[in-house]
Amino acid sequence: MEHKRANVMAKFDEIASKYDEQRKKLIPCFDDFYSIAVSAAKTANDSPNILDVGAGTGLLSDFVMEKYPKASLTLVDISEKMLEMARVRFEKYPNVTYIVDDYTKHDFTEKFDVVISSLSIHHLTDMEKKNLYERIFSLLKADGVFVNADQVLGSTSYIDELYKTDWKQKVENSGLARQEIMSAYERTKLDKMSTLEEQISWLKEAGFSDVDCMYKYFNFVVLYGRKLID
């Protein structure tokens, strides 16, 4: 398992400097994908405590911080180089904490109003996802929300192949250089996707209420859950 984590870290270290500029070309539904995730990350607290797991360069957090500029933000990621990019991005914000660690194991000491994640959790095994959802539930304050903008496995092999074919067709016509496209294909070998139905079930089992898929574009989804009690 540690070897697999090291592989993930190495692959994302390699692309840290180009990660953001590639997103719009690798995510055909980029605008809706991120804007709906931000809309779902809703809290009554105008200075919320926000945790981003698998934060990378902080792309999703950047959009969320535009919505809550007085927030305290914690970014955790296994790739130090990705978080170095995030440090530049958030240098104007005073209340940002950076944690270079495996978020499935890190011992968090705070409670959060909002937990977000984007394009990270699909690198975990089924059991790791289930355990993580339970951990996130325990880290949320009452009425806290969890928003996961991620990718899912098709519910059948036929549907999953449709997802992959559509994505590859669009990436091939995105304008990315051939080397960048091949690098993206190589990174998909790190994926351990689970179906949408499984993950909705796991979120409910973890204790989340109002669990929903708020957005879906082929295998790109925005998952939502709320914690009613602390």
Q: What is the pLDDT of residues 104-113, one digit of tens each?
A: 999 999 999 9
Question: What is the reported pLDDT for 20?
Answer: 74
Structure tokens at 53: 């797991």
Q: What is the pLDDT of residues 191-224, one digit of tens each?
A: 999 999 999 999 999 999 999 999 999 999 999 9
Would you say residue 16 has pLDDT above 70? no
Q: Which of 2-6, 124-128, 142-146 has the lowest average pLDDT? A: 2-6
Q: Any alpha helices (H) in the chain, and if so which ranges?
A: 2-15, 19-26, 30-40, 59-67, 80-89, 126-139, 157-172, 178-187, 196-206
Question: What is the reported pLDDT for 13?
Answer: 46
Structure tokens at 15: 């692309």
Would you say residue 5 has pLDDT above 60? no
pLDDT band of residue 22 (cuts 50, 70, 90) is confident
Q: Could you tell me if 18 and 24 are in contact, meaning their C-beta atoms sit under 8 angstroms apart?
A: no
Residue 44, helix vs strand vs coil:
coil
| Phi, psi of 97, rounded to the nearest 5 degrees | -115, 135
Q: Could you tell me if 50 and 75 are in contact, meaning their C-beta atoms sit under 8 angstroms apart?
A: no
- 116's enclosing H/E stretch is strand 112-118
Domains present along the chain, CATH in parentheses: 2-21+29-152+192-226 (3.40.50.150)
| Phi, psi of 55, rounded to the nearest 5 degrees | -65, -25
Q: What is the pLDDT of residues 33-72, one digit of tens each?
A: 999 999 999 999 999 999 999 999 999 999 999 999 999 9
